[in-house]
């Protein structure tokens, strides 16, 4: 099965591919499609305040106002809404916006969990959740990957782990897993109009998860669904559906005793 998006990530600069963003948080990559033949190189400030001169952990525990996030996110949703045909299309677009974040956060997570394994809380969480001891490796099996998302990723983004992790009970869909967030931070200030009640703007977060999965080599489709409960009206379930190739590999790895 093809990995269209992951493929484009691996071949940055290889052409006008779909999801090649033009600016690169975390890592710089090749330019967007145009005029790469005579690239003159970027100018840098003489005081060398470039991303290469700053420590990647500098912003690790930094905080910003939640209102700022809410304002930006609402502009993102409003902007996306202007260019779509329906709810599904809107969610697809939000998903696409989250996807590149996932790819980058993945590298950041590994970098941090390995570099600071003695002091960081996320590192200890990772080593307790995966079966191997530190330094943590890239997950090879689905379960460690899910723990990585449920714990360290969620903590990095929202300062707390997700609320539940479940495997589909249906024998027809062994490739489906669910991660639950009782009260997604991204939806805090969003009120969805009644006629769009299906919409869940946490599709953006679903995109982040999808990016993390793809970046790890686990091809997956991730979507966000409203599952309100009495206590948690905003409860959201992220449904992860892994591709056939991933499931086949799981079987092989299980036989080989890889954890």
Any contact of residue 40 with another protein (CB under 8 A)? yes
Helix (H, G, I), strand (E, B) or coil at 91: helix
Any contact of residue 191 with another protein (CB under 8 A)? no
Using CB under 8 A, pick the residue from 7, 11, 15, 49 that binds another protein: 49
Name, in order, each residue with C-beta under 8 angstroms of 135's C-beta and a sequence gap of 6 or more: 113, 114, 117
Find the shortest distance in angstroms from Cβ 169 to another protein: 33
Kind plus residue range of the DSSP H or E element containing 87: helix 87-115
Using CB under 8 A, pick the residue from 34, 118, 133, 170 that binds another protein: 34
Using CB under 8 A, pick the residue from 11, 28, 128, 173 that binds another protein: 28
Instruction: Please give the Cα distance from 167 to 53 (Å, whole number).
Output: 43
Instruction: Please give the Cα distance from 151 to 161 (Å, whole number).
Output: 5
Nearer to another protein, 57 or 132 (CB): 57
How far is C-alpha 122 from the geometric centre of its chain's CA atoms? 16
Nearer to another protein, 105 or 220 (CB): 105
Any contact of residue 104 with another protein (CB under 8 A)? yes
The CA-based dihedral angle spanning residues 128, 234, 223, 205, taken in that order and rounded to the nearest 10 degrees: -60
Using CB under 8 A, pick the residue from 35, 231, 251, 252 that binds another protein: 35
Find the shortest distance in angstroms from Cβ 8 to another protein: 12
Phi, psi of 53 (to 5 degrees): -95, 0
Q: Which of residues 118-177 bind another protein (CB under 8 A)?
A: 156-159
- Largest pairwise CA distance in the chain: 62
Binding site for another protein (CB under 8 A): 20-26, 28, 30-32, 34-36, 38-47, 49-51, 54, 58-60, 62-69, 71-73, 75-76, 78-79, 83, 97-98, 100-101, 104-105, 108, 156-159, 185
């Amino acid at each position: 099965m093809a990995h269209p998006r992951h493929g484009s990530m691996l071949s940055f600069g290889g052409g006008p591919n779909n999801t090649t963003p033009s600016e690169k948080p975390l890592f710089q990559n090749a330019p967007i499609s145009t005029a790469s033949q005579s690239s003159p190189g970027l100018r840098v400030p003489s005081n060398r305040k470039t991303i290469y001169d700053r420590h990647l952990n500098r912003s690790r525990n930094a905080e910003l106002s939640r209102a700022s996030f809410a304002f930006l996110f609402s502009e993102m949703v409003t902007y996306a809404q202007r260019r779509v045909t329906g709810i599904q299309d809107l969610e697809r677009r939000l998903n696409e916006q989250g996807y590149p974040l996932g790819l980058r956060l993945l590298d950041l997570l590994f970098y941090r969990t390995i570099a600071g394994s003695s002091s960081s809380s996320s590192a200890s969480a990772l080593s307790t959740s995966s079966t191997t001891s530190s330094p943590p490796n890239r997950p090879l099996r689905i379960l460690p990957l899910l723990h990585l998302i449920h714990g360290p990723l969620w903590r990095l983004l929202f300062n707390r782990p997700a609320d539940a992790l479940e495997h589909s009970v249906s024998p027809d869909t062994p490739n489906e897993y669910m991660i639950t967030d009782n009260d997604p931070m991204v939806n805090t200030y969003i009120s969805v109009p009644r006629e769009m009640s299906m919409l869940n703007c946490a599709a953006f977060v679903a995109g982040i998860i999808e990016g993390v999965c793809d970046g790890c080599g686990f091809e997956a489709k991730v979507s966000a669904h409203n599952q309100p409960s009495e206590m948690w009206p905003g409860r959201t379930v992220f449904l992860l559906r892994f591709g056939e190739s991933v499931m086949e590999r799981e079987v092989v790895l299980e036989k080989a005793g890889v954890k």
